[in-house]
Structure 1
Amino acid sequence: MVERIPRPDGLRLLLTPNRSMTWHGNVRIWLCLFAISVVITTGFSLAGAWVIVPFAGLELIALAFGIYLTSRDCQRREVLTINDTDIHIEKGMKQKQAEWTLPRRYARLRLDAPAHPFTPAKLSLTHRDTDVPLGQFLNIDDTAILVDFLESRGVVVERKEPDPQIGLWF
């Protein structure tokens, strides 16, 4: 998701993955599945198939671990601050973990077009030997919004077409 935040000295963009549900919503879903699993496991256990109990527990642990990893990964953020002279990029989850400052005049947005029409383009801001991947979690529409916005702010876009693929699976 691309969110514009106006500032007195420029503009700030907040890039975040699309989240369909909050952490509390995910926990509620898991609790509902836990309750259903307990009912089914109890029924099979009373019928004499007690072997199902450890497998149901392992399934619920694996599901909880998957929900946790997905929710944690959706907390990534990238903040682009664009002013008259610089483009400042900050990345992190709950706090800033990395940052770069590129001169706006010489920075380039490299757009690697996808080989398949259902995948988004890969973006990166470059200047000399600095190459910062940008918005790797954005979908196709959000990627297009970000490219259009940066292009309207004067950032030069270098488009690279995918290499032709020769083989059985096109």
Structure 2
Amino acid sequence: MTVKRWQMRRNCALTPKQLLQFYIVLVCLSLIVATGFYLAGVWMIPIFTALELSAVTIGFFIYCRHALDSETIEIDGKRLIVKKFIGYKETLYEFNTQWAKIEQPLEGAKTFQIRQSDLGVELGQFLRHEQQIALIRQVRAHLG
């Protein structure tokens, strides 16, 4: 029996490793410039450099926390497993393929739902609307 898997990932321009390399270069250049101004007698520039680097550091931490976010739909026999990895927290949902239903996204909605009785999970936040429709069609072909 084959396992079917669909994975949806956030579209990130930089991996966390690339972002770290960029951050190190940015910090070094900023500190070199701030040190030059400080040695020239302009003591205000290092203060603003510290504020700037603090703000950039916070932004980079937020970016890195969500750079690896993903959603996975996996069908293994009668089991439909949904894994959501958001902000380093993984949540697992399990449905029966005979009873699970996929609801079409409403017009303008950014997500769609997979439901079974009172359990429901929103998916598709990393996909465009037309990609969601194609994914729903593919997954429905494997549901009872």
The TM-score normalised by the length of structure 1 is 0.68
* Runs of at least 5 residues in structure 1 that lack an aligned partner in the other structure: 1-7, 115-119, 156-170
| CA deviation string 1:22-70 (max 9, x = no partner) | 2221112112222221232133323332022122112112212211221
| From 114, 135, 144, the counterpart of 1:149 | 135
Q: Is the 8 A contact 1:90 1:96 kept in 2?
A: no
SS at structure 2 position matched to 1:112: coil
Name the one with the larger helix percent.
2
Structure 1 residue 63 and structure 2 residue 41: aligned? no
1:81 aligns with 2:74: yes
Corresponding residue for 1:101?
94
Distance (Å, rounded) in 1 between the aligned partners of 2:40 and 2:66: 41
Aligned residues between the structures: 140
Deviation per CA, 1:93-127: give whole Å up to 9, x if none. 5977322122223322231221xxxxx73222122
The CA distance in 1 between the partners of 2:127 and 2:26, in whole Å, is 29
- 1:152/1:97 Cα in 2 relative to 1: closer, same or farther (>3 Å)? closer
* Runs of 4+ with deviation above 4 angstroms: 93-96
* Match in the other structure for 2:116: 127
- The answer as to 2:21 corresponding to 1:36 is no
TM-score (norm 2): 0.79
* Cα distance in 2 between the residues matched to 1:107 and 1:78: 17
Give aligned-pair identity as a percent.
Answer: 21
Contact 2:65/2:87, CA 8 A, preserved across alignment: no
For structure 2, the residue ranges without an aligned partner over 5 or more in a row are none
For residues 154 and 24 of structure 1, the distance between their equivalents in structure 2, rounded to whole angstroms, comes to: 37
